[in-house]
């Protein structure tokens, strides 16, 4: 299967995961100033330590595809961050803010081409030889809890995907093995290892589809 980024598509269904990078930049900055007195050096595991890491040129990922007869589904699964230190930091922040258990954040890209009807994309779960590895984040929204933009963003992920659109879901859990299976709605898609270029991944997350009249953000 060719990577979702390189395939032709029409409309782009922008999921809330696209907003993670700018939001977490603000979180990073706030936490850094709270945990670092003026003039103090950054400690291990703090923002100054994570920011000093160089992103790899390639990132190991999982991908899969499924022919629906009328339509085609393509999926790709990658860590939320390409740099291990950033991934670890995001896991800590998101677990604390969203009330999640032990685990780390992963990005599931779903591409639906040439279909006639909407397809279900929830539940979304990844299993491997050791059992359940990752599951889509779904949060309960309550007026009794203090307002948190991250909870609002991830409280209701898209349930269905129209034809010729893409979506990104936030999955949470442990790192999956080198192969596995994705349960997407009522369908199951085999996952196999692949390699994704860092620039391609970064461009996809930050990009705006030019066909929708927006400028391409990099």
User: Mean pLDDT throughout 200-213?
Assistant: 41
- Rounded to whole angstroms, the Cα distance separating 42 from 81 reads 21
In a domain, 140, yes or no: yes
- Rounded to whole angstroms, the Cα distance separating 36 from 48 reads 10
pLDDT in tens, 171-185: 999 999 999 999 999
In a domain, 1, yes or no: no
Q: Where do the DSSP E strands lie in the chain?
A: 58-67, 72-79, 104-113, 119-120, 124-128, 131-136, 160-161, 165-173, 180-184, 187-197
In a domain, 45, yes or no: no
User: Mean pLDDT throughout 16-23?
Assistant: 51
- Rounded to whole angstroms, the Cα distance separating 79 from 170 reads 10
DSSP conformation letters of 81-99: -SSHHHHHHHHHHHHHHHT
pLDDT in tens, 51-91: 566 777 788 999 999 999 989 999 999 998 888 888 999 89
In a domain, 181, yes or no: yes
Task: Return the bridge partners of 171, or none.
Answer: 106, 136
In a domain, 47, yes or no: no
CB atoms closer than 10 angstroms to residue 119? 20
Number of domains present in the structure of the chain: 1
pLDDT in tens, 103-151: 999 999 999 998 889 999 999 999 999 999 999 998 876 666 666 777 7
Give residue 215's pLDDT. Answer: 36
8 A C-beta contact, residue 174 and residue 19: no
- Coil, strand, or helix at residue 102? coil
Asked whether the predicted pLDDT for residue 158 surpasses 60, the reply is yes
In a domain, 77, yes or no: yes
In a domain, 184, yes or no: yes
Give residue 212's pLDDT. Answer: 35
The whole domain housing 193 covers 9-35+59-207
Instruction: Give 198's pLDDT tier (boundaries 50, 70, 90).
Output: confident
In a domain, 118, yes or no: yes
């Amino acid at each position: 299967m060719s990577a979702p980024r390189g395939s032709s598509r029409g409309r782009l269904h922008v999921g809330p995961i696209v907003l993670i990078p700018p939001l977490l930049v603000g979180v990073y900055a706030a936490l850094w100033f709270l945990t670092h007195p003026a003039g103090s050096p950054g400690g291990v595991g703090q923002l100054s330590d994570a920011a000093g890491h160089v992103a790899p040129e390639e990132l190991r990922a999982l991908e899969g595809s499924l022919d629906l007869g009328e339509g085609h589904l393509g999926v790709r699964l990658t860590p939320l961050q390409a740099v291990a230190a950033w991934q670890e930091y995001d896991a800590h922040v998101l677990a604390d803010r969203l009330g999640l258990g032990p685990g780390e954040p992963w990005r599931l890209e779903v591409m639906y081409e040439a279909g006639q009807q909407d397809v279900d994309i929830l539940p979304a779960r990844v299993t491997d030889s050791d059992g359940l590895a990752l599951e889509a984040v779904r949060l309960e929204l309550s007026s009794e809890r203090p307002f948190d933009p991250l909870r609002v963003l991830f409280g209701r992920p898209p349930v269905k995907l129209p034809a010729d659109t893409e979506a990104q879901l936030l999955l949470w859990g442990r790192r999956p093995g080198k192969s596995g299976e994705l349960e997407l709605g009522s369908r199951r898609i085999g996952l196999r290892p692949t390699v994704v270029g860092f620039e391609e991944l970064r461009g996809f997350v930050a990009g705006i589809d030019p066909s929708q009249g927006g400028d391409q953000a990099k």
